[in-house]
């Protein structure tokens, strides 16, 4: 099998000039400031990407992690010839995608966020026609399709029209299809959304195996466990910009302190914060309303300090949540928002 | 090239699977029309004999136009809808214009099949077999190709311009007037007493399909000069193909 190819984007920008299609999954949660309710009849401008530069090395599993509307699908769309960038460059292997579309398409396999199977065909036919589009001969495509159907546990119903499939089965067909022509780069846009936990594990295993054969994988997800479990490196993006980049371990280590204590006090949050900032091992304290976000090098051991700081200000500790170093905390640290919302 | 053929094979496969409903959909209406106008009305004397000779090419024209339009537009409309069924083909390693060209070729093939089925059927159903002849086979084939291309190109343009929710409107506001003002059931010269309408219908592609097929199948009835029709059809083909490709590219890339 051919070795994986690299991916590179240079200063990628994308401004959509029409509102997102209603059925789009991303449309429900848009964070861009451009879309106020007053803009209904004016010309829309949605800045989905604001100068994104990425470099994915050949053979790695690279994760794009970010909340809904961050620009993950737009990035994947541009790299796979499906969305025209407003400016910037997008490279797959040796080809700039928008100058050498056909050559770039030969290198890539794509699983889009929304299932888009050919409903007029059976699962087996979908795989076989896909291979035929890529010029793979008949004997070879029969063999490959049977193998992949087996691997994705679809053999039983392979000769039914996919119309009647469940969401999870459709997703598996879509992933198998993207693998049919042995792409050198595989794009997986939120591949495990809608999968049950068991199938998700099967998928993770298949992704790792596939990557072990050399294929580069670009995976987008808003699920940090998935990014943590699969990716060699991760870029965290928000509002079309990169906020952090590194291995999961590096990223977690980059959070000041690592542990996060989120506390709510009845009053005096600012004063308590002042006291806590001077404590050894506390690297940062942020205050929002009555809430304290304390980044520190330990978790439970700080509870005593927190309680005494609170009582010194005459306040009561109403609520406390302790979390270990995680990508979630990192995102929260950079944006003040949770990835999950 | 192999990708292009594979795309064509996919459409052929799907068309074969839906052969019976597709045929019924395109054949039933013209056949009913042939029966009512070609048999009932003429035998009962409500239509003058000889009307069949106008009718037969007109029915052919309608069948070919509707087949091509429906064969290309209907799948495109739904494939571009939120199911995005077309995505996998847009990712095939060819320029995506070729996918639009493939749609046109597939539409032309289906139009040819429909033409080949409806012609003998209509011929048999019409009493006396009408005065149709194939004395100018080359002209007839050229004309049929021009009409087939026209129908598929119109299908491409409509398929990329209309949303799923507007299909009903497409039929009642575009296709129905197109059929009634398409000079299929009467020759263009019959509109002489409505000069404005007669000028306006010249924008309707079906007019040239009907008149052109009259010119090559039943040349003894009144019809526009064959060479004029061919010229206009060629022009319309070029224009509508260009517009259809343009619209396709807009629709296909975000
Ligand atoms: N086809 C589209 N037309 C207009 N706006 C879009 C379109 N697709 C996405 N957007 C907008 O662009 C932004 C980024 O979307 P997207 O790339 O889908 O984010 P993600 O995949 O990270 O959820 C969002 O604000 C979204 O609403
Ligand atoms: Mg997305």
Show which of A251, A276, A306 is a domain's final residue: A251
Contacts 24+ apart (CB under 8 A), B23-31: B23/B114, B23/B117, B25/B70, B26/B63, B26/B66, B26/B67, B26/B70, B26/B114, B26/B118, B27/B63, B27/B114, B27/B117, B27/B118, B27/B121, B29/B66, B30/B59, B30/B62, B30/B63, B30/B118, B30/B122, B31/B118, B31/B121, B31/B122, B31/B125
The model's pTM: 0.85
Are A298 and A170 in a shared domain?
no
Range of the domain at A299: 256-324
Are A242 and A281 in a shared domain?
no
- pLDDT of B130 reads 59
Ligand nearest to the CA of A83: 1
- pLDDT-based confidence at A341, cuts 50/70/90? low
Are A158 and A218 in a shared domain?
yes
Are A217 and A117 in a shared domain?
yes
How many CB pairs below 8 A link A and B? 82
Q: To the nearest whole number, what is the mean pLDDT of chain A? A: 87
Identify whether A318 is part of a domain: yes
- pLDDT-based confidence at A41, cuts 50/70/90? low
Which of A48, A64, A341 gets mutated to test ligand 1 (max ligand atoms within 8 A of its CB)? A48
Are A218 and A128 in a shared domain?
yes
- Among B2, B85, B94, the residue with its CB nearest the CB of A116 is B85
Identify whether A16 is part of a domain: no
Does A61 score more than 80 pLDDT? yes
**Buried b vs exposed e over A252-285: b needs ≥16 C-beta within 10 Å?**
beebebbbbbbbbbeebbebbbebbeeeeebebb
State whether B87 and A116 contact (CB < 8 Å): yes
- pLDDT of A31 reads 41
Ligand nearest to the CA of A48: 1
Does A21 score more than 80 pLDDT? no
Identify whether A20 is part of a domain: no
- pLDDT of A292 reads 87
| Overall average pLDDT of the A193-208 stretch | 89
- The listed range with the strongest mean pLDDT (A28-32, A202-206, A290-294, A314-318) is A202-206
- pLDDT-based confidence at B237, cuts 50/70/90? very high
Q: To the nearest whole number, what is the mean pLDDT of chain B? A: 88
Are A295 and A311 in a shared domain?
yes
Residue A117: closest C-alpha in chain B: B85
Identify whether A336 is part of a domain: no
Distance A31 CA to ligand 1 centre (A): 10
Are A166 and A65 in a shared domain?
yes
Quote the percentage of chain B above a pLDDT of 90: 48
- Among A21, A129, A133, the residue with its CB nearest the CB of B82 is A21
- pLDDT of B129 reads 56
Identify whether A165 is part of a domain: yes
CATH number of residue A309's parent domain? 3.30.70.100
Q: What is the pLDDT of residues A290-319, one digit of tens each?
A: 888 888 887 778 888 888 888 888 888 888
The number of distinct structural domains making up chain A is 2
Q: What is the pLDDT of residues B37-81, one digit of tens each?
A: 777 887 787 777 778 788 888 888 998 998 899 999 999 998 888
- The listed range with the strongest mean pLDDT (A216-225, B92-101, B216-225) is B92-101
Are A118 and A207 in a shared domain?
yes
- pLDDT of A122 reads 96
Does A24 score more than 60 pLDDT? no
> Which segment of A80-89, A210-219, B183-192, B233-242 scores lowest on mean pLDDT?
B183-192
- pLDDT of A317 reads 86
State whether B3 and A119 contact (CB < 8 Å): no
Could you give the ipTM of this predicted complex? 0.87
Show which of A192, A227, A251 is a domain's final residue: A251
With a Cβ cut-off of 6 Å, ligand 1 is lined by A 16, 18-21, 24, 26-27, 30, 32, 46, 48, 66, 68-74; B 254
| First-last CA distance in chain B | 26
Are A77 and A91 in a shared domain?
yes
Are A170 and A201 in a shared domain?
yes
Identify whether A40 is part of a domain: no
- pLDDT-based confidence at A170, cuts 50/70/90? very high
Are A180 and A213 in a shared domain?
yes
State whether A105 and B92 contact (CB < 8 Å): yes
- The listed range with the strongest mean pLDDT (A35-39, A126-130, B198-202) is A126-130
Does A23 score more than 60 pLDDT? no
State whether A112 and B87 contact (CB < 8 Å): yes
| Overall average pLDDT of the B5-21 stretch | 91
Distance A66 CA to ligand 2 centre (A): 9
Are A137 and A271 in a shared domain?
no
Does A104 score more than 80 pLDDT? yes
Identify whether A304 is part of a domain: yes
**Residue A49: strand, helix, or coil:** strand
Distance A25 CA to ligand 2 centre (A): 7
Pairing of strands A233-238, A61-65: parallel
- pLDDT of B14 reads 92
Question: Which chain B residues are closer than 8 Å to A82 by Cβ?
Answer: 87, 90-91, 253-254
CATH number of residue A210's parent domain? 3.40.50.300
- Top pLDDT among A253 and B225 is at B225
Identify whether A44 is part of a domain: no
Show which of A214, A236, A251 is a domain's final residue: A251
């Amino acid at each position: 099998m051919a070795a994986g190819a690299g991916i590179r984007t240079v200063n990628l920008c994308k401004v959509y000039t029409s509102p997102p299609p209603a059925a789009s999954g991303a449309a429900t949660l848009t964070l861009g400031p451009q879309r106020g309710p007053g803009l209904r009849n004016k010309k829309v401008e949605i800045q989905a990407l604001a100068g994104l530069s990425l470099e994915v090395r050949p053979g790695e599993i690279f994760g794009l992690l970010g909340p809904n509307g961050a620009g993950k699908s737009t990035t994947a769309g541009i790299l796979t010839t499906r969305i025209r960038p407003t400016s910037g460059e997008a490279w797959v292997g040796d080809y700039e995608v928008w100058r050498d579309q056909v050559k770039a398409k030969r290198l890539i396999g794509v699983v889009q966020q929304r299932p888009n199977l050919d409903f007029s065909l059976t699962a087996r036919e979908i795989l076989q026609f896909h291979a035929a589009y890529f010029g793979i001969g008949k004997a070879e495509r029969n063999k490959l399709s049977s193998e992949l159907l087996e691997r994705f546990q679809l053999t039983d119903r392979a000769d039914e029209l996919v119309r009647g499939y469940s969401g999870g089965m459709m997703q598996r067909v879509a992933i198998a299809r993207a693998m049919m022509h042995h792409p050198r780069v595989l794009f997986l846009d939120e591949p495990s959304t809608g999968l049950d936990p068991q199938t998700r594990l099967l998928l993770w295993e298949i992704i790792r195996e596939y990557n072990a054969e050399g294929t580069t994988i670009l995976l987008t997800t808003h699920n940090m466990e998935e990014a943590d479990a699969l990716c060699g490196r991760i870029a965290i993006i928000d509002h079309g910009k990169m906020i952090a980049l590194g291995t999961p371990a590096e990223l977690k280590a980059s959070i000041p302190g690592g542990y996060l204590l989120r506390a709510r006090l009845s009053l005096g949050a600012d004063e308590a914060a002042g006291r806590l900032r001077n404590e050894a091992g506390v690297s940062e304290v942020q205050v929002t309303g009555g809430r304290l976000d304390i980044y520190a090098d330990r978790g439970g051991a700080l509870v005593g300090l927190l309680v005494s700081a609170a009582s010194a200000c005459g306040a009561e500790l109403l609520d406390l949540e302790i979390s270990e170093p995680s990508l979630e905390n990192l995102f929260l640290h950079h944006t003040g928002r949770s990835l999950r919302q | 090239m192999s990708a292009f053929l594979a795309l064509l094979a996919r459409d052929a496969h799907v068309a074969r699977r839906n052969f019976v409903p597709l045929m019924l959909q395109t054949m039933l209406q013209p056949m009913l029309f042939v029966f009512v106008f070609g048999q009932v009305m003429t035998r009962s004397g409500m239509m003058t004999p000889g009307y069949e000779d106008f009718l037969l090419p007109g029915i052919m024209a309608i069948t070919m136009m509707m087949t091509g339009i429906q064969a290309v537009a209907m799948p495109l409309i739904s494939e571009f809808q939120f199911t995005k069924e077309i995505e996998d083909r847009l990712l095939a390693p060819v320029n995506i214009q070729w996918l639009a060209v493939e749609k046109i070729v597939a539409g032309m093939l289906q139009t040819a099949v429909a033409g080949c089925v409806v012609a003998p059927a209509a011929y048999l159903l019409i009493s006396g077999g009408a005065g149709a002849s194939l004395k100018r086979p080359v002209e007839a084939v050229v004309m049929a190709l021009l009409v087939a291309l026209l129908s598929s190109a119109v299908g491409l343009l409509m398929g990329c311009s209309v949303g799923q929710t507007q299909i009903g409107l497409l039929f009642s506001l575009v296709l129905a007037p197109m059929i009634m003002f398409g000079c299929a059931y009467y020759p263009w010269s019959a509109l002489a007493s409505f000069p404005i309408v007669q000028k306006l219908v010249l924008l309707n592609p079906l007019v040239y399909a009907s008149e052109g097929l009259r010119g090559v199948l039943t040349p003894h009835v009144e019809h526009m000069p064959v060479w004029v029709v061919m010229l206009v059809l060629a022009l319309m083909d070029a224009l509508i193909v260009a517009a259809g490709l343009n619209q396709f590219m807009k629709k296909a890339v975000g």
